[in-house]
Structure 1
Amino acid sequence: MKTFLYPDKSVWASIVERPHLDVSTLTSTVQAVLDDVKARGDEAVKEYELKFDKAVLEQLAVTQEEMDEAETLVDATLREAIILAHHNIKAFHEAQRFSEVRVETQPGVECWQKSVAIERVGLYIPGGTAPLFSTVLMLATPAKIAGCGEIVLCTPPSCEGKVNPAILVAARVAGVSRIFKAGGVQAIGAMAYGTESVPKVYKIFGPGNQYVMAAKQLVSLHDVAIDMPAGPSELCVIADANANAEFVAADLLSQAEHGTDSQVLLITTSEPMAKSVEEAMERQLELLPRKDMALKSLDNSKIVVVRDDDEAIELSNIYAPEHLVIQTDNFETLATRVVNAGSVFLGRYACESAGDYASGTNHTLPTHGYATAYSGVNLDSYSRKITFQHISEEGISRIGRAVEAMAAAESLDAHKNAMTVRLKEISGKC
C-alpha cells in the first residue's frame, strides 16, 4: 500500500482514483455471447457452460432432487447461520415497507402512490473462487418481502454440473422460485431475453466479474433493468489514534481478499496508527489462504494520513466508498457528516463482515464512486411506485385555468382543450 502524508487537497482526486477497468476490449466478446444466447437459447447457454465452466448439462434447471440433496450436504452449523442471517435480513427489510399517503393538493384534487412489486426478477449469484450464498439471502429476501411473483436465480455449476449446496439451501430458505445452472455472460443473456428454460425477467440483480458487469450494462440499454452499475469491491476505514490496529487491518484485508481488482483505503489522523496497521496487516496476511489475491489488491490500495477529522470525512465523501468503517472515538459525530457511502459501520466492533452476512443490512452496494448517486439494494429496488389521482368538479374548477394557461404557453393546444371541455361542462351546470 502506498502511503500519503498530509497530502494537499490538489492531489486528492488522484488519491481516490479506482483501478482503471478498460472494458472496451470486452464489449465485442460479451455482445457476441449475448447475441448467440438471444438467437439459440438453451443450446447456446449449454455450449458456453461447457466452454467456460467445463460442465456438461442435460438441462439447465435445478431439480427438486438436487435441492433435497443439498440439504444433506450442508452441515448443521452453516444451516443455522443461514437461518439466523435470513431472519435478520428479513427483519431489516420488512421495516422498509411503503406506507400509502393520500394528499389533497387542492380541495377536490387527491393524489397518491401505490407500491407494486416487479412481477419477475432475476438474481445472478457468482460461483468462481467464492460461491456467494450470502448474496442469495441479500437479493431474494427483499424480493420475497416486496411480493415479486417469480424470483429466478442463475449461478454457474461446477465441472460436475452441480450447484454449490449452500447456494441451494440459501435459495430455499429465502424463497427463490426457480434456479438454473448458468454463469457469466450467458446467464445474463438468458434472463434478459428468455430461453426455452429460463424465463425473461424484468430486472436483473447481482454482482459479478467484469464480463458479467459489461453484460448487465449492455442488456440494460434496450432489454431489461438492472440494479445498479458496479465495479470491484472496495472499503474505506477512518481511524483515529485510539483505534484498534488489529481490527483495522482485519477489516482492510477482509475486503482485499475479494479479488485482485478490489481496493481498500485507510484514512487516519495518526501517523503511528498508520504504521501499526501496516505491521498488523503484514502479520495477518501470512495466515490468509487468499494471500496472493489480497496482495495484488493491496497494490491498488492506499493509506492517507490527514491533519484532522474534517479532512478525514471530506476525503471519504469524495471517495464515496462502497463500505465505510468509522473506528474513532467520535464515530457518532462523524457519522452525521457522511453523505457519500454505500453502507457505514460504526465503532470498533461493527466490522464490514457483519454487514456482509448477518447484521441484517444489504451487502449489494454501489461501487466505483456510484455511491454519490445510487443506493444499495433495498425493498424499493423490487417495486415500482404508481401514481394515482382523482379530481372532482371542484378540483377542476380550482386548477383548470392554470392548466389551460400552462398548456397554451407550451403551444400544446390539445392539452389545453382536454381541460377546456371539462370546464365548459361544469360551467354549463351552473
Structure 2
Amino acid sequence: MRRLHSDQADFEAAFATLIDSDTPAQAEIDSRVSAIIADVRERGDAALVEYTRDLDNHPATDMAALEIDPARLQAALDAMPAEPRAALETAAARITRYAESQKIEAHSFEDEYGNRLGQVVRPIERAGIYAPGGKAAYPSSVLMNALPARAAGVKEIVMMSPAPNGEVNDWVLAAAAIAGVHRFFTIGGAQAVAALAYGSETVPVVDKIVGPGNAYVAEAKRQVFGRVGIESVAGPSEVLIIADGSGNPGWAALDLFAQAEHGEDSRALLISPDADFIDAVDAAVERLIADQPRRDIIRASLANHGALIQTADMAEAVALSNRIAPEHLELAVDDPDALLDGIEHAGAIFMGHRTPEAFGDYCAGPNHVLPTGRTARFSSALGIYDFQKRLSVIHASERGAAALSPVAAELARGEGLHAHAASAMARGLQTDSDA
C-alpha cells in the first residue's frame, strides 16, 4: 500500500488524487447508457432480452425466462440449511426493526388564527430495487433495499438482479423471499434501470429506484432521475479507518481487506498519527493477504486506491476524514465518543475496536446503502423515509383566511401574479356563507 505523510511537500496533490472520484471513461459510459435507455424505451421486452443475452450470457429467449416465479423464491428459502437461514432471518429482523424506528409520522398544529397546519405521510406505491451481481452475490443488498420499502408500506417491490450465464444465487433468491419481493427479474445493468423507469410490455414502471450497482447502473440512475426518484448515484465502495494506535493492527488489515474485496476500484484508507501502528498495519497486510480467497482483487484495490496516511495528530486525522466524507468510517480508537462530535461527513460511523464495518454490511440494523464518492457531504443512508412521502396539509379557518389573505395578496402582486392576489383576497373578504 502507498504511504503518505501530511508533512510531505506534495501531500496535497497526492491526497487530492487519492480522493478524486471522477471516472476517466465517464463520457463513454454516459453515451453508452443513453443509447441503452433509448433502445429499451423503443423496443421494450425485445431489447431487455437481447441485452441480457449479450452482456450477461444469459440463455433466455423471452421475458418469461427472465422473471423468477415467487414459488422458486420460497423454495430456495425452504431448501436453505438451518444456520444460513437463521442468519438471513436474524439480519432481516434487525434491519426491519431499525427501519421501523425511523418512520416519519404525521403531525399537525393549530396556529393563533385557528389554521390547522401539518403533514400526512404516505408510502410510494411501487419501488424498484437493484441488487448487484457479477464478482459476488449480495443477498444483504436485497434485505437492505427491500425491507425498508416493505416497512414503509410500499404496495409492490420489483427487483432487478443480473444472473450471469443464467445462474441465480440461492442466497439471493432466499433473501428475496424473506424480504417480500413481489416480482424478480434476472436483468442487470443500465437496461434494468431503464426498464424500471420506463417500463416494458412485462416490467411495470416504478416510482423510485434504489440500490447500488456498477458504473453503468449508477449513470443510468442519474439519467432517469426526474422520471423516477432515486436514492443516490453510488460509486465504488469505501472505508476509512481513523486509528489512534491502541488497536489491533491485524484487525485493521482485515477491515481494509473487507472493503477492498468488493472490487478493484474500491477504496480502503487508514489514517493515524502513530507511525509504529501504521508500520504494524502494513506488515499485517503483507502477512495476512495470502490467506484471502479474493486476494487478487484485494491487491489490485489496495495498490490502486488504498493508502496508509500519517498525520501530525488526531485532530488532523479528523480534518482529513471530513474532506474525504467516506462511505464507511471506522473510529478504531479507545474513546470514539470523544471524536464523534468532530465528524461532519460520513455515511456510517463504526465506533471503537469491536465494531467492524462488516457488522453494518449485514446485521447491525442501520442500512448499508450509503453515500459514496464524497456525497456524504449532502446525502444520507437509505432508510424507510426514502419510501415515504410527506404531504403538506393546510386548513384555513375563517379568521385565519382573513389574516393570511392580505399577506398572500401583497406577495402575489409583488410577483406580478394578480390572479393569485385576487384568489387570496376573495377568501379574506368573504365568509364561508358568502362563497
Q: Normalising by the residue count of structure 1, what TM-score does the alignment of the two structures yield?
A: 0.95
Rate the CA distance shift 1:106–1:69 in 2: closer, same or farther, 3 A: same
Distance 2:109 2:149 in 1: 28
Distance in 2 between residues matched to 1:289 and 1:249, nearest whole Å? 15
2:305 to 300, 306, 309: 300
CA distance in 1, matches of 2:276, 2:22: 31
Counterparts in 2 of 1:53 and 1:424: CA distance versus 1, 3 Å: same
- 2:98 counterpart residue number: 92
Matched, 1:257 2:261: yes
Deviations 1:91-150 (A, max 9, x none): 111111122221223322221111111100101111101111100000110000001010
Give the structure 2 partner of residue 118 of structure 1: 124
Cα distance in 1, alignment partners of residues 153 and 309 from structure 2: 45
How many Å apart are 1:179 and its aligned residue? Answer: 0.6
Alignment of 1:320-331 (within 5 A): 320-331=325-336
Alignment counterpart, residue 341 of structure 1, candidates 322, 343, 346? 346
Following the alignment from structure 1 to structure 2, what is the Cα–Cα distance between the partners of residues 130 and 81? 18
CA–CA separation in structure 2 for the residues paired with 1:11 and 1:106: 58
Question: What are the ranges of 5 or more consecutive residues in structure 1 without an aligned counterpart?
Answer: none
Provide the rounded CA distance (Å) in 2 between the counterparts of 1:385 and 1:93.
17
CA change 1:237–1:422 in 2 (3 A) is same
Q: 1:11, CA displacement in angstroms? A: 5.1
Match of 1:27 in 2: 30
Q: Which residue of 1 aligns with 2:152?
A: 146
Cα 1:53–1:12 shift into 2, 3 Å: closer
Of 143-152 and 110-119, the range deviating more from structure 2: 110-119
Counterpart of 1:40 (choices 38, 43, 57) is 43
Shift of 1:20: 3.5
Instruction: Specify which of 404, 411, 415 is matched with residue 409 of structure 2.
Output: 404
How far apart are 1:154 and its partner, in Å? 0.9
Match of 1:205 among 206, 210, 218: 210
Unaligned runs of 5+ in 2: none
Q: Alpha-carbon deviation of 1:66?
A: 2.4
Q: State how far apart, in whole Å, the 1-side matches of 2:141 and 2:308 are.
A: 29
**210 and 125 in structure 1: CA distance in 2 versus 1, 3 angstrom threshold:** same
Q: Which is worse superposed, 366-375 or 100-109?
A: 100-109
The Cα of 1:15 is off from its aligned counterpart by: 5.8
Give the match for residue 101 of structure 1. 107
Shift of 1:73: 4.7
Shift in CA distance, 209/300, structure 1 to aligned 2, threshold 3 Å = same
Q: Please report how far the alpha carbon of residue 421 of structure 1 lies from its aligned counterpart in structure 2 after TM superposition.
A: 1.4
- Give the stretch that moved more between structures: 329-338 or 355-364: 329-338
Match of 1:137, SS state, is helix
Match of 1:311 in 2: 316
Distance 1:15-1:271 versus aligned 2 partners, 3 A rule: farther
**Contact 1:61/1:197 (CA < 8 Å) preserved in 2?**
no
Alignment equivalent of 2:16, drawn from 5, 14, 17 = 14
SS in 1 for 2:258: helix
User: Structure 1's 83 and 208: CA in aligned 2 closer, same or farther, altered over 3 A?
Assistant: same
* 1:380/1:12 CA distance change after superposition, 3 Å: farther
Residues 156, 182 of structure 1: 8 Å contact kept = yes
**Deviation beyond 6 Å, 4+ runs, structure 1:** none
Indicate the RMSD between aligned Cα atoms, in angstroms: 1.8
- Relative distance call for 1:72 and 1:418 in structure 2 (3 A) is closer
Amino acid at match of 1:32: A
CA distance in 1, matches of 2:21, 2:231: 22
1:408 deviates by 2.1
Distance 1:186 1:138 in 2: 22
Which of 147, 150, 167 is 2:172 aligned to? 167
Asked whether the equivalents of residues 38 and 195 of structure 1 are also in contact (C-alpha less than 8 Å), the reply is yes
| Corresponding position of 2:161 | 155
Whether the 8 Å CA contact 1:136–1:171 is kept in 2: the answer is yes
Identity of aligned residues (%): 36
Counterpart of 1:270 (choices 251, 255, 274) is 274
Deviates more, 1:121-130 or 1:28-37: 28-37
- Separation in structure 2 between the aligned mates of residue 20 and residue 425 of structure 1, nearest angstrom: 59
Do structure 1's residue 388 and structure 2's residue 390 form an aligned pair?
no
Q: 1:19 to 1:95 in 2, by over 3 A?
A: closer
Q: Which amino acid aligns with 2:157?
A: I
Q: SS state of the match for residue 381, structure 2? A: coil
For the Cα contact (< 8 Å) 1:73–1:165, is it kept in 2? no
Kindly state the Cα deviation for residue 404 of structure 1 after the two structures are TM-superposed: 2.2
Post-superposition shift, 1:242?
0.9
Task: Confirm or deny: 8 A CA contact 1:26 1:211 kept in the other structure.
Answer: yes
**Are 2:370 and 1:365 aligned?**
yes
Distance 2:15 2:393 in 1: 45
**C-alpha displacement of 1:68:** 4.0
Q: Cα 1:310–1:12, aligned 2, differ >3 Å: closer, same or farther? A: farther
How many residue pairs get aligned? The number is: 427
How far the C-alpha of 1:76 sits from its partner, in A, is: 2.2
CA contact 2:403–2:428 (8 Å) conserved in 1: no
**Structure 1 residue 53: Cα displacement:** 1.4
Task: Give the conservation status (yes or no) of the 8 Å contact 1:108–1:396.
Answer: no
Distance 1:383 1:21 in 2: 33
